[in-house]
Amino acid sequence: MKTRPKNSGMLTTTEVAHSLHVHPNTVRHWANKGSVHAYRLGTRGDRRFKREDVDDFLQGNGAQSREVVEAGKA
């Protein structure tokens, strides 16, 4: 398995989900809706997220995103 540099700036779906305390399917749903920008890689179409895009998503959604994150914790 190939490893990538820790500071690559790109996050996997699972990494985003863990940092926001939500299920990876929630992150996929947000990406499919266009709420957060995802880059599709390879033939499988794996999603990668720029840390800045995730931060913008949180900033842009304000209280709404915090409510979604909090709901994911329940």
Contact 26, 72 (CB under 8 A): yes
Identify the residue with better confidence: 8 or 47.
47
**pLDDT confidence of residue 34:** 93
Contact 73, 32 (CB under 8 A): no
Does 49 have pLDDT greater than 80? yes
Query: Backbone phi, then psi, for 37, in 5-degree steps?
Result: -75, 130
Identify the residue with better confidence: 61 or 73.
61
If you classify domain 10-73 with CATH, what class do you get? mainly alpha
